[in-house]
Amino acid sequence: MDNNGVGSWLHRRRIKSGTKAAVISGGHTVTYAELSDRTDRLANALKGRGVAKGDRVAYLGENHPSFVETFFACGLLGAIFVPLNTRLAAPELQFQLQDSGARLLIGAATLEVIAAAAVADTDVSHRLVVAPDDGTDGSVVKLPSGVEHYGEVLDAAPATPLDESVTLDDAAMILYTSGTTGKPKGALLTHGNITWNCINTVVDMDLSRNDVALMISPLFHVASLDMGLLPMLLKGATVVLESKFDAGRALQLVAQHKVTTLNGVPTTFQMLCDHPGWSTADLTSLEKLTCGGSAVPGRVLEAYEQRGIGFTSCYGMTETAPGTTMLPVSRSKEKAGSAGLPHFFTDVRIAEPLGGIAALGEVGEIQISGPNVIKEYWNRPEATAESYSDSSWFRSGDMGYQDGDGFLFVSDRIKDMIISGGENIYPAEVEAAIAELPAVGSVAVIGVDDQKWGEVPRAIVTLRENASLTEEQLRSHLEGRLARYKIPKSVVFVEEMPRTASGKIRKMDLRKQYAL
């Protein structure tokens, strides 16, 4: 094949595993042969609508077979896949569509209203809408004029295999990360970045073709897509897609499909073990649990240990596609608190402030190198230049150290990022939106502990002289401007902000006083 990228995977896999279940969704099973056929049809349909190598195709929807088909169809054409976060507000989605220059948007029918608003003033010229049951019973929903039905488009398209010339160095996907300056930037992942990350995962997780993964986290997140779905399909295993996370249903699906692997964030694992059905659920098939985003609470670890299930903890970021380190279950007690060892084909080093290499046990900036690490941000040359040291080492912005055995310990974050239920929140973006209010004199957003979500944002606000503002008014202002998980769960009004000599707000002081 001329296509050496991710788009070729299903063509290769159908030869080896054609009759094997690839995707199970809504009670319907799609084999590798069927998935390859549907992907070929979609690729031909996209090509017929002018999509060519290098063009961007966006997807807005929950976990669904059409997400998988769109990803691989883009790979077949050499087009660039742009998955969008379904929790974003219309202006946020519009920015990402504008910034990426997406030509076509495939979206869920349930999100049609927000999709219609988001495409205004963008380059999107074609839209396909996916009914909830597309790929199952074939029924359709009524659509507005000028918008095509995804299922009908696939039915009308030929299943002729495509074999465009695609290399591992070609761009495959743009994933937007919340920007520290208030605007998100697109991490440009190549076919090689994705492939090597999947190889790392298959090697370090000992994945098997007999594995069954339950996907309870959104595929638009890099960890769910690149650490969960794609390594399983590369290996010829089976994935069970859930559009929404429901703890009780997830426990039932584990038993029904003999699920062996489960990826998630601490919040989802906590909700599972807090469910009334936890104690009686059949979890005997579970072998591999991987958790990222933040540390798993002790009581949650204990609940799983009592069921004979251990966790593999991971550390990574979008820019590393996302695997950086992994702590195997076998070393979890011995190396408690560690983020683990670097993935097989990934290197980690700790850099001193002046650029030297830190000694073992010495805290410095965590830097990563390897074929899974991106080389650039989409149309952000300055951000790209600032993010690399010695041209090949990505600067994570996180602080940590390595012990004598090479295990990484993350000690702090240089950036002020808040991780809430696995979602990254950058305070600068929230602060910029709050600062639009005429009554606001200054604002700082910090993370505070939350039993359910791990962290949630809290706004510290000073008001202008003679101005008035309530917490309800502030939150109302943010509705529709920001995704709801970014909206502060609490607001504290103060007379003045602690500041440095240069006038910068001292967030460390705010955390000490208000992050309780």
What torsion do the CA atoms of 435, 439, 445, 447 make, to the nearest 10 degrees? Answer: -140
Tell how far CA 282 is from the center of its chain.
Answer: 29
Q: Has residue 147 got a pLDDT over 80? A: yes
**Token representation of residue 217:** 């986290």
Tell me how crowded residue 453 is: count the other CB atoms within 10 A of its CB.
21
Query: What's residue 502's pLDDT?
Result: 58
Burial classification of residue 361, based on how many CB atoms lie within 10 Å of its CB (0-12 exposed, 13-18 middle, 19 or more buried):
exposed
Q: What angle in degrees, to the nearest 10, is found between the helix axes of 427-434 and 471-478? A: 110
Average pLDDT over residues 478-483: 95
Query: What's residue 134's pLDDT?
Result: 65
Q: Has residue 291 got a pLDDT over 70? A: yes
Write down the residue that tokens 């809430």 correspond to. Answer: 420
User: Model confidence at 138, in pLDDT bands (50, 70, 90)?
Assistant: very low
Rounded to two decimals, the pTM is 0.88
Q: Are 230 and 6 in contact (CB under 8 A)?
A: yes
Could you tell me what percent of the chain has a pLDDT over 70? 95
Q: How far apart are CA 285 and CA 259, in angstroms?
A: 6
What's the one-letter identity of residue 316?
A: G
* Three-state secondary structure of 122-154: CCCCEEEEECCCCCCCCCCCCCCCCCEEHHHHH
Q: Has residue 175 got a pLDDT over 50? A: yes
**Token representation of residue 376:** 């650039």
User: Model confidence at 136, in pLDDT bands (50, 70, 90)?
Assistant: very low
Could you tell me what percent of the chain has a pLDDT over 90? 80
**Token representation of residue 201:** 């995962």
Q: Name, of 47-56, 126-135, 328-337, 418-427, the range with top average pLDDT.
A: 47-56
Higher pLDDT, 134 or 375: 375
**Token representation of residue 470:** 């309530």
Q: Name the β-bridge partners of 68.
A: none
Q: How far apart are CA 39 and CA 161, in angstroms?
A: 9
User: Model confidence at 489, in pLDDT bands (50, 70, 90)?
Assistant: very high
Query: What's residue 287's pLDDT?
Result: 94
Residues in the chain: 516
How do beta strands 261-264 and 212-215 pair?
A: parallel
Query: What's residue 272's pLDDT?
Result: 96
Write down the residue that tokens 């590369």 correspond to. Answer: 234
Tell me how crowded residue 357 is: count the other CB atoms within 10 A of its CB.
11
Residue range 310-340, pLDDT digits in tens: 989 899 999 999 999 999 989 988 998 899 9
Mean residue pLDDT of the chain comes to: 93
Query: What's residue 390's pLDDT?
Result: 82
Q: Has residue 146 got a pLDDT over 90? A: no
Q: How far apart are CA 385 and CA 371, in angstroms?
A: 18
- The arrangement of strands across the sheet holding 311-316 comes to 28-31, 21-25, 238-241, 212-215, 261-264, 288-291, 311-316, 323-327, 341-342
Q: Name, of 155-164, 300-309, 349-358, 428-437, the range with top average pLDDT.
A: 155-164
**Token representation of residue 231:** 């390594």
Looking at residue 109, what DSSP letter applies?
Answer: G
Looking at residue 159, what DSSP letter applies?
Answer: -
Burial classification of residue 377, based on how many CB atoms lie within 10 Å of its CB (0-12 exposed, 13-18 middle, 19 or more buried):
buried
Q: Has residue 140 got a pLDDT over 70? A: no
First-to-last CA distance in the chain? 58
Residue range 178-236, pLDDT digits in tens: 655 568 999 999 999 999 999 999 999 999 999 999 999 999 999 999 999 999 999 99
Q: How far apart are CA 193 and CA 205, in angstroms?
A: 18
Residue range 15-34, pLDDT digits in tens: 999 999 999 999 899 999 99
Average pLDDT over residues 253-281: 94
What domains sit in the chain, N to C, each tagged with a CATH number? 1-11+34-167 (3.40.50.980), 418-514 (3.30.300.30)
Q: How far apart are CA 359 and CA 402, in angstroms?
A: 8
User: Which stretches of 178-233 are assigned E, i.e. beta strand?
Assistant: 185-190, 212-215
Q: Residue 415: name the closest of 400, 429, 397 by CA.
A: 397
Q: What angle in degrees, to the nearest 10, is found between the helix axes of 32-48 and 9-17? A: 150
